[in-house]
Structure 1
Amino acid sequence: MSLSIKSIKSLAPLLDRVLVQRAKVVEKTASGLYLPSAASQSPPPEGTVLAVGPGAPGKDGKVVPVSVKEGDRVVLPGFGGVPVKVGEEEYHIFRDAEIIAKISE
């Protein structure tokens, strides 16, 4: 099941949720070789953060901020997240705790 909306700008994550656009599947190598379709079916484990929520309340009631910010490149799990379709593009909403790592340049 996926949610379909008209504009990605109208979507604001709540609490500790993070809106991510997964990296595109590479179908051709840098040297020009085409990869077989079986190799390109699984989504890459990388994405870019587009929007973050304000954070979720901790055990003491204070808001714990999200650990990533807009523009960060992150490593994602191969499963999970809520898919959101905008036109032909697909995005995912993950909990902050589901994001595996942040990629620093």
Structure 2
Amino acid sequence: MKLVPLGDKIVLKQLEAEETTKSGIVLPGQAKEKPQEAEVIAVGPGGIIDGKEVTMQVKAGDRVIYSKYAGTDVELDDEKFIIVKQNDILAIVEA
């Protein structure tokens, strides 16, 4: 199956949380903070949303930083995704 977002929605796949801190301390499962970095899987078409023209600024494959409590968690074919509005994307991570 494939998720196809509508309007200004974006499907993200969250990147894995760090297992250790920078100082080398190994974190147990509950102590790991949910990362705010994700890969863009699919992007909606944009268009007129709430009377305003919305042009999508990210594309599939981009790595992005998103708001901490944004989006809706979805599980499809045993994979977890997050669906967010474009407004919830804070930055694109460039290599």
TM-score under structure 2 length normalisation: 0.82
Name the counterpart of 2:38. 47
CA RMSD of the aligned region, Å?
Answer: 2.3
State the shift of 1:38 in Å. 4.6
TM-score under structure 1 length normalisation: 0.75
More strand by share: 2
State the shift of 1:65 in Å. 2.1
> How far apart in 2 are the matches of 1:87 and 1:28?
29
State the shift of 1:76 in Å. 1.1
Aligned structure 1 segments of 4 or more residues deviating by more than 4 angstroms: 29-33
State the shift of 1:89 in Å. 2.3
Q: Give the AA of the match of 1:34.
A: V
- Over residues 76-97 of structure 1, what are the superposed CA-to-partner deviations in whole Å (9 max), with x where a residue is unaligned? 1110201110243210000001
Name the counterpart of 1:12. 4
Aligned residues: 94
Unaligned runs of 5+ in 1: 1-6
Name the counterpart of 1:74. 64
Aligned pairs (5 A) from 1:27-46: 27-28=19-20, 33-40=25-32, 42-46=33-37
- Secondary structure of the corresponding residue to residue 87 of structure 2: helix
Name the counterpart of 1:65. 55
Unaligned runs of 5+ in 2: none
> How far apart in 2 are the matches of 1:91 and 1:44?
13
Name the counterpart of 2:73. 83
